[in-house]
Structure 1
C-alpha cells in the first residue's frame, strides 16, 4: 500500500488548506490503495472537516513558534517520521512550509510533492513567499499548482523538474444535488475568512450602492477572522445593519447555499477558490473580480456568471444590479453551471492524483 503524508500548518476547521486536504485524503483512502497521515507544523484540532477515521495525525511542534525559529526542530522531527513510517510521498501544502518539506526529504527515499494552494504571485509584498516558491520548486520532485495559468507561471519563473496541474475538487457531498434553483430569492451570499485577501471592506462599499438601490435585498457574509470588528464598524457607519450581515463561521453552509440568489467574491487574489465551486454546485450564478488566477477557470463570462475588472467598485456594482434586475439571466446562469460542473468532480480529480503518483514511481 502506498504511504502518503500531507504536511500542513495546523489542523483546524478554518482555513481552505485543511478543508481541501480532508476531501482529497478521504477520496484517496476510499480507493483502498493508500495509507495516509496528516502532519501539521503545530498542534491543532482534528475536528471540523469530517476527517476520515483511518487518517493518522502527527504534529511537529508542541507550542506555536514562527517557522524561522522552529524549522530546525521541525525538520528533524519530520525526517524521523518519514523514515520510521516509510512514507512514499510527502505532499507539502502551501508556500510557507515548502522549504520545510524539501529539507526534510533530502537524501531520503520519500518523493516530495509541492502543492501550492495560492497563485504564484499571491502577494508580491511578501518577497519571502516568492523566494520560498522558487526554492521549493527547484528541489521538489513535482510542483502541483491549482490552475492552468499557474502551471505556465511555474514553468516560466522557476526551475521545477515537473509541473502537474490539478484543480481543487467539489466535495462529493455537493455532486448531483437535486434541489431546484430558487429564482425568487432576494439574498446574496459571500464566503471567506475576514482577512485583507478576501477584501470585505471593499464589499461594504459595493453593498452600500447595491442595497440602497434595492432595499428589499439582503447580503450575508459567512466567515470569521481578524478584520471582523473593522467590517462591523464599516457596516454600521454606512447604515447597512438591516441589510448586510456578518453571519460568522458556519458548519452548515452546504445546506444554506440553496437559500440564496447568487454568490459574489471580492478577493484581491486566490489560488482556486473552493467557495465558487460550492456555489456553482448549488446552481448559484457567480460574480467575481477577474483576479490573476482562479475565478476565470470557473466562471465562463456571461454563461454562468460575470468576471469583473479587478477591484473595480463601479463595475462590480453594475454587474450585481444587472443580476438583481434580470431574473431570466439568473436562471440561465444557474442552468449553465450544470454543464460546467463535471470538470471539477471528485472522481476525476482523484484520478489525476493517482496518475501523478504512478508517474513518480516510475
Structure 2
C-alpha cells in the first residue's frame, strides 16, 4: 500500500508527531510505501527516529535564511480560499504560505491512502485532494475539543471522508452518534517499542513531560509539588519539554522558592531513559486526546498519578490497580496522590508491575495490524 500522512510539523516535539512517526516506521518496515507531508521544516532531522525509507516532503523548507516552497513558487499569493475556512486559519502570513503550498501539492497526490492528523489540515485535504483517494481522518483531540465554528466546518468535512479513527472508545462512541453514516474506528496510539528501560523505583524523583503550555497544567503540578516537599524535601520533580509557558513556570518556581526541588529539563530525544529515572510519574493535564506520555511512563514501569481527564487517562489507568486517578484540577488531591506513592513503596511496586501489563496492550505490532486491516477494508469498499 502507498500511504501519505499529513502533519503540521514533523520537526516539532509533540505527541502527534511521535505517534505518526511510530506508525510510519512500522508501516515501512512491513513493506509499504510511506511518505509524510509536513507543512514546515526547520531542522535537518525529525525529533524522533525516522526510518530512512520514509520520505519527508516539507511544504515550506525554512532551514536556510530564505524559506523555499516545495515547488519553488514565487508568484502572487492565492487568497481565494480565505473566506471558506474558520477564522484564524488565514490570519498569519507564514501559515498562509504553508497552506498555499499545500493547496498546490495536494492535487498531485495519486493512488495513495491519505491520513490526516489535524483539524485545519483535514479541511484542506478534503477540499483539495481527489475524492477517489482513500482519505482517513486520524483524530488526536477529544470530541468536545472543537468550538462551534470548527464543529460546523468539521461536520461538513467528515461527511466526505472515508473513515475517522479515534484514540479512545469514548470518542468512538461520541463520533459514531454524531456521524451515523461515517465509519468510525478506535485505534489507540502505539508505543514505539515494548523494549523500554524500566525504573528500579529507587530515586527520590517525580517525573513529568509534555509541551509547556496552559493545557498541560504544569502550573498546577508545581503548586502540588510545593505541598509534597513540605513533608518530603528530599524528593525532586523533573519536567521534560519546552513551550510558550517556560518563562512563566520558571518565575513560579523562583517565587515559591522551589529552585532546589523543581527542574525544567527542556526537550529530550531520549524520553524513555528520562522517564525510567523517575519513581513516580505525574500528569496534570486539563484535557487529553489520549495521553501518550502517560502510557510511555507505564511502559517504563513508572507508577503514575494523574488527573482523571474524561478522555485518555480514564481509559489508560485503572485507578488503584495500575495507577492513581484524582479529581480533575484538584491540586491538593494531586499532591496527596504523589505523597501516597512516595510513602508506600509496596504500592509503587504493585503499580509498576501492573503498568507494564497495561502497556503491553499498546505494543506496536497489534496496533499496526489494526491499521493495516482498516486500510485494506476501506480501500476494498471505495
User: TM over 0.5, yes or no?
Assistant: yes
**1:287 aligned counterpart, secondary structure:** strand
In the aligned structure 2, how far is the partner of 1:282 from the partner of 1:106? Answer: 43
Of 136, 149, 152, the residue aligned with 2:170 is 149
**1:164 aligned counterpart, secondary structure:** strand
Displacement of 1:160 in angstroms is 5.3
Quick check: 1:26 aligned with 2:25? yes
Quick check: 1:119 aligned with 2:142? yes
What residue is the counterpart of 2:56 in the other structure? 57
In the aligned structure 1, how far is the partner of 2:231 from the partner of 2:177? Answer: 46
Under a length normalisation based on structure 1, what TM-score does the superposition of the two structures give? 0.91
Under a length normalisation based on structure 2, what TM-score does the superposition of the two structures give? 0.87
From the superposition, tell whether residues 257 and 76 of structure 1 become closer, same or farther in structure 2 (CA, over 3 Å).
closer
What residue is the counterpart of 1:92 in the other structure? 116
Of 311, 320, 341, the residue aligned with 2:329 is 311
What residue is the counterpart of 1:37 in the other structure? 35
What residue is the counterpart of 1:203 in the other structure? 221
CA contact (8 A) 1:75 1:103 kept: no
From the superposition, tell whether residues 23 and 210 of structure 1 become closer, same or farther in structure 2 (CA, over 3 Å).
same
What residue is the counterpart of 2:2 in the other structure? 3
CA contact (8 A) 1:138 1:159 kept: no
In the aligned structure 1, how far is the partner of 2:228 from the partner of 2:150? Answer: 36
In the aligned structure 1, how far is the partner of 2:195 from the partner of 2:298? Answer: 12
In the aligned structure 2, how far is the partner of 1:251 from the partner of 1:61? Answer: 24
1:1-362 aligned at under 5 Å gives the runs 2-32=1-31, 34-45=32-43, 46-61=45-60, 67-68=89-90, 69=96, 73-74=100-101, 76-82=103-109, 86-107=110-131, 109-122=132-145, 126-158=147-179, 161-172=182-193, 175-177=194-196, 179=198, 181-362=199-380
CA contact (8 A) 2:35 2:54 kept: yes
From the superposition, tell whether residues 278 and 43 of structure 1 become closer, same or farther in structure 2 (CA, over 3 Å).
same
From the superposition, tell whether residues 132 and 279 of structure 1 become closer, same or farther in structure 2 (CA, over 3 Å).
farther
CA contact (8 A) 1:146 1:271 kept: yes
From the superposition, tell whether residues 159 and 102 of structure 1 become closer, same or farther in structure 2 (CA, over 3 Å).
farther
1:246-282 Cα distance to aligned partner (Å, 9 max, x none): 1111112222222210100000111112111110111
Displacement of 1:210 in angstroms is 1.0
What residue is the counterpart of 2:82 in the other structure? none
In the aligned structure 2, how far is the partner of 1:178 from the partner of 1:253? Answer: 10
**2:214 aligned counterpart, secondary structure:** coil
**1:168 aligned counterpart, secondary structure:** coil
Unaligned runs of at least 5 residues, structure 1: none
CA contact (8 A) 2:280 2:338 kept: no
In the aligned structure 1, how far is the partner of 2:311 from the partner of 2:377? Answer: 26
1:139-187 Cα distance to aligned partner (Å, 9 max, x none): 2100011111100111122355100110001111xx14464x4233210
CA contact (8 A) 2:60 2:98 kept: no
From the superposition, tell whether residues 27 and 97 of structure 1 become closer, same or farther in structure 2 (CA, over 3 Å).
same
Q: Which shifted more, 63-72 or 296-305?
A: 63-72
Displacement of 1:130 in angstroms is 3.0
CA contact (8 A) 1:143 1:160 kept: no
**2:33 aligned counterpart, secondary structure:** strand
Q: How many residues align?
A: 351
